Structures are given as structure tokens and as C-alpha cells.
Amino acid sequence: MITKLTLTLNQQVIESAKAYAKRNGKSLSSIVESYLRSLDHTEEKRTLSPDVKRLIGSVKLSKNFDYKKELQEAIIKKHLS
């Protein structure tokens, strides 16, 4: 069932959103609906399964571990191999 919703937003936000929708060939309603649906999925992602909870803390990294550096090196290695 489709129901009408009235929102009160800053005029500049509305104009920007309409321009975005037009550039992407979508209606503003479909963009808002998609965003609101994504909020529901965000909540689901925050709940960890018992298996994942058991894994928390199982990997010990050194204090000077540089995640971004390691990720960058892995990506370079992947694409140059």
C-alpha cells in the first residue's frame, strides 16, 4: 500500500535532492523510500550472531599495527599479481 507523507525540510535541501533525483533518473519518493529501508537493514547489521561474538578478541595485533597500510599493500598485491 502506498501512503502519502508530508515532510518539512530546508528549501536548499529539497532543491538539491530534486536535482540529484533528476540526474539519476529517479523520483524523490523512491530515493527517500530507499534510504528509509536502508535504516532497517542498518539495525540488523548491528546485531552480531553468537558465532561472531565468540570471535571478538581472538586476533591480537601489535599496538603499532597500521590497518590502512596493510590494506593498501594487500590491494596493490592483489591487482599487480
Range with lowest mean pLDDT among 8-17, 49-58, 66-75: 49-58
Looking at residue 42, its pLDDT comes to 58
Buried b (16+ CB within 10 A) or exposed e, 4-30: eeeeeeeeeeeeeeeeebeeeeeeeee
What's the CA gap between 44 and 8, in Å, rounded? 28
How many percent of the chain have pLDDT more than 70? Answer: 93
